[in-house]
Amino acid sequence: MPSELLADSISRRCFVGGSDARIIMGVNENNLLRLWKEKRGEIAPADLKGDLLVQMGIATENLNLKWYQMKTGHVITDAQRRIFHPVHRWMAATIDGRIQGTQAIFEAKFMLPWNFSEEAAAEKHMAQLQHNMWVVAARSAVLSIITGGAQWVEIKINADPLYQHLLLTAERKFWRCVQSGEPPVLFNVETPRPRLAAVKVVDMSTSNHWAELAATYLRTRAAHGEHETAKADLKKLMPEDAKEATGHGIKAKRSKSGAISFETEVTEGFDAPVQ
């Protein structure tokens, strides 16, 4: 191993980084224990020179950055900069960059095209993104993804304070295990569902369920409009000092807060509320 790579691998033992956060918040106990041993210096980090997917990600990082800048017009700064948390010095983030102006975290990824979805991509990298945002006090992050199918996707993720609190708790417990020698256990924190920007235009004409609901919507639209208009007009007709008003098959009731609701009056069975 070249001296600079050896020095970097040793330095990585001294902090919890974004890629570590994915393992700490993950569900693979073997990976968690391996990371713990690496941080303690008991085993060497995994040799990823033979991992083609990892190497593809490294090889396309510069292309990804240039492509993002060309497509969005944004400028990326602080490429590959390592930043330590100002208080928790055992936390650090080696970021792919920051977006000039917004100061959002920029993260470049390479992913395989089959079964690719923006939701799965965001969920996969959520822990790393939230960790990096927490370390540098950023409010948002951008995933810039190039797939093997010649597709480029931009995904925007906002900081999640609740998840970051759970992330910090899990990472602190892990780091205590590194220092004490006690093996860590999985923390079982559920990854928040990513809130993605709605940018797609989807054709639902092939969905039978959509067709059935659309037909019902169109059939009942006029009646629903008449129903809502009648309710509003009935409320206006009800005297302000009236607690109840009845007549022609309906009963109006005023609550203590002043809200008016309606019921149908029937001679048999039970009263059915009018929505």
pTM above 0.85, yes or no: no
CA distance 147 to 56: 10
Average of per-residue pLDDT across 214-226: 88
Segment 76-87, tens digit of pLDDT: 999 999 999 999
The encoded tokens of residue 28 equal 């693979």
pLDDT reported for residue 265: 81
DSSP output for 13-57 = TTSB-HHHHHHHTSS-HHHHHHHHHHHHTSSPPP--TT-HHHHHH
Report, at the CATH architecture level, how domain 3-180 is classified: Alpha-Beta Complex (3.90)
For residues 143 and 116, what is the distance between their CA atoms, to the nearest angstrom? 14
Do 131 and 96 form a contact (C-beta atoms < 8 A)? no
Domain ranges, ordered by start, for the chain: 3-180, 208-274
The pLDDT of residue 172 is above 60: yes
In the chain, which residue ranges form alpha helices assigned H by DSSP?
Answer: 3-12, 18-24, 29-40, 52-72, 118-124, 126-136, 161-180, 208-237
Please tell me the predicted confidence (pLDDT) of residue 119: 87
Q: What is the mean pLDDT of residues 94-115?
A: 93
Q: List pLDDT tens digits, range 42-71.
A: 999 888 888 888 899 899 999 999 999 999
pLDDT at 113 over 90: no
Residue of 77, 13, 12 whose CA lies nearest to 42 = 13
Distance from C-alpha of 148 to C-alpha of 115, rounded to nearest angstrom:
12
Average pLDDT over residues 147-170: 92
Rounded to an integer, what distance in angstroms lies between the CA atom of residue 232 and that of residue 76?
55
